[in-house]
Structure 1
Amino acid sequence: MRVLAVAVTYNPDPDLLARVLGSVAPQVQGIAVVDNNSSNARSVRDAASAVRAHVLENEQNLGIAAAQNQGVALARDEGYSHILLLDQDTVLAAGVVADLSSHLAALEVEYDGVAAIGPAYYELNSERQTRAYQANGPLLSRRSLKGLDCPVESDFIIASASLVSLDTLDKIGSFKEDLFIDLVDVEWCLRARASGYQSFLSPTAAVEHRLGSTIARIGPRRVAVHVPIRNYYWVRNALWLSRQPYTPLAWRLYFISRALIFPLVYTTLTDHRLMRLRLICRGIWDSFTGHLGSLK
């Protein structure tokens, strides 16, 4: 297995990016940094240079899916067999890639179609470990991974720190670029699921990840709060995905219910409330008119 780590960057924190790249460098055979026209591109180049990473610099922000597809294309050209996708803020513990690689190899022997495997990451804002999600008719179950040591099937896994073979990508297809950002990984996993490919989480792979920049509290729950523009993309893409034939009923209901809750949460408990409301309304409109891609 020859793994290329593909890190996508957009105005990253330079020190954190250096930690991310430094944590993955000893674990893979190569690193590519795909930068979406960051304002601090020089800092990105410096961090990449420190670990001898290949840098692809886009002249505009093409979105995360397009950047990931660029990394995939580079991996193919350079003769890699697998890619490890990374966000700019995901720090890996030692041995994560070896853990994912060994589990993936075993799963491919046991199952006919394995889409990808990812870590049971610890989310820093909510202060909890991710769970496995599985649709069963109209119900969406959430399974805790605490105390487990074997991979668990999940309808989707987040892209960051996920390990995917290029052969599998050839069969399932590339990441959907006109979603731009938000739910790109969910869409790909659900599309893979409909084609008979399963995704898995490894409870023994330790990764720190941060969803959003701050949190909002709803009773005991902590909800990730992104910059306002992300409300537009999430609602638009969720409603679009809820209408796709390969999306299971439980996920359709989930996307629709969350999209309805968004205006309530993000216009009462966060900052820039009027801006968020306008962006959410625009996202709803663009979803039903079929306007995807970057918000102009």
Structure 2
Amino acid sequence: MRIVAVVVTYNPDVALLAEVLQSVGPQVQGIVVVDNGSGNANEIRGIVRATAAHVIANKHNFGIAAAQNQGLAFARAEGYSHILLLDQDTTSAPGVVGDLSRNLQALEIEHGAVAAIGPAYYELNSKRQTRAYRAKGLRISRVSLRGRSQPMESDFIIASGSLISLAIMEIVGGFKEELFIDLVDVEWCFRARAAGYRCFLSPTAAVDHRLGSGTVGIGSRRIAVHVPIRNYYWIRNALWLARQPCTAPAWKLYFISRSLAFLATYTTVADKPALRLQLMCRGIWDSFSGNLGCFKRGRA
């Protein structure tokens, strides 16, 4: 197994990015950083040179899906067998890639080809560990990974930290660039599942990850808060995904209900509520109008 880490950056905290690269470097056979037109691109290049990684420097932000596909093309051209996707703020504990690769090989022996395997990441803002998600009928079960030692199937896994073989990518296809950001990984996992390939989480693989820039409390729950434009992308893509044949009925209901919850929540407890409402309404319109891709002001 020859693995290249594909790290997508956009205006990253360069000190944290250095930690990300240093933590994964000894565990993989190569690193490629795909930068989406960051304002601190020169600093990024300096960090990349110090870690002997390769850099693909985009002049503009083409979105995370396009950047991941660029990393995938690099992996093919350089003869790698697997890609490890990483966000700019995901640090890997020692041995996590070995854990993922061993479990992936064992799962392939047991189940045949597997779509992807990801770690049981710890979300630093909400201070919660990820869970496995499984749809059955019109219900979605959330299964804790605490105390477990064997990989668990999940309808989707987040991209950051996921290990995927290039052979599976050839069958399922790359990431859908029209979504730009938000739910890109979910759409790919649903598409893989529809093709007969399952995703798994390894409870014994540990990474730290950050969702959003912070959290706000809603009763006993805490939800991630992103910059307002991310509300646009999430609602637009969620309502688009709810209409796709690869999406299970329970997830269709989830995306619709969650979009309504977004409208109620982010216009009452988050900053810039008027702007968020405007962007979410625009996201609804663009989803049903088929206006995907990068957000463009004034587009009808």
Q: TM-score, normalised by structure 1?
A: 0.99
* Aligned equivalent of 1:165: 165
* CA-CA distance at 1:47 after TM superposition: 1.4
AA of the residue aligned to 2:80: Y
Unaligned runs of 5+ in 1: none
> How big is each residue's C-alpha offset from its partner over 1:8-31, in whole Å with a ceiling of 9 and x where there is no partner?
000000100000000000000000
Q: TM-score, normalised by structure 2?
A: 0.98
* Aligned equivalent of 1:246: 246
Unaligned runs of 5+ in 2: none
- The separation in 2 between residues aligned to 1:282 and 1:23, in whole angstroms, is 40
AA of the residue aligned to 2:240: W
Do residues 28 (structure 1) and 38 (structure 2) align?
no
1:189-204 residue pairs with structure 2 within 5 A? 189-204=189-204
* Aligned equivalent of 2:10: 10
AA of the residue aligned to 2:281: C
Do residues 80 (structure 1) and 80 (structure 2) align?
yes
- The separation in 2 between residues aligned to 1:219 and 1:6, in whole angstroms, is 37
* Aligned equivalent of 1:127: 127
* CA-CA distance at 1:112 after TM superposition: 2.4
- The separation in 1 between residues aligned to 2:88 and 2:47, in whole angstroms, is 11
* CA-CA distance at 1:50 after TM superposition: 1.3
* CA-CA distance at 1:171 after TM superposition: 0.4
Do residues 52 (structure 1) and 58 (structure 2) align?
no
* Aligned equivalent of 2:287: 287
Do residues 149 (structure 1) and 149 (structure 2) align?
yes
AA of the residue aligned to 1:281: C
- The separation in 2 between residues aligned to 1:31 and 1:112, in whole angstroms, is 28
* CA-CA distance at 1:175 after TM superposition: 0.3
Percentage of pairs with the same residue: 68
* Aligned equivalent of 1:212: 212
- The separation in 2 between residues aligned to 1:128 and 1:77, in whole angstroms, is 38
**Structure 1: which 4+ aligned runs deviate by more than 2 Å?**
none
* CA-CA distance at 1:159 after TM superposition: 0.2
CA RMSD of aligned residues (A): 0.5
Matched residue SS, 1:201: strand
* CA-CA distance at 1:226 after TM superposition: 0.3
AA of the residue aligned to 2:172: I
> How big is each residue's C-alpha offset from its partner over 1:133-161, in whole Å with a ceiling of 9 and x where there is no partner?
00001000000000001000000000001
- The separation in 1 between residues aligned to 2:33 and 2:197, in whole angstroms, is 28
- The separation in 2 between residues aligned to 1:24 and 1:2, in whole angstroms, is 14
* CA-CA distance at 1:113 after TM superposition: 3.0
> How big is each residue's C-alpha offset from its partner over 1:92-129, in whole Å with a ceiling of 9 and x where there is no partner?
00000000000000000111231000001000111110
> How big is each residue's C-alpha offset from its partner over 1:37-61, in whole Å with a ceiling of 9 and x where there is no partner?
0000011111111111100001110
Matched residue SS, 2:115: strand
* Aligned equivalent of 1:275: 275
* Aligned equivalent of 1:19: 19
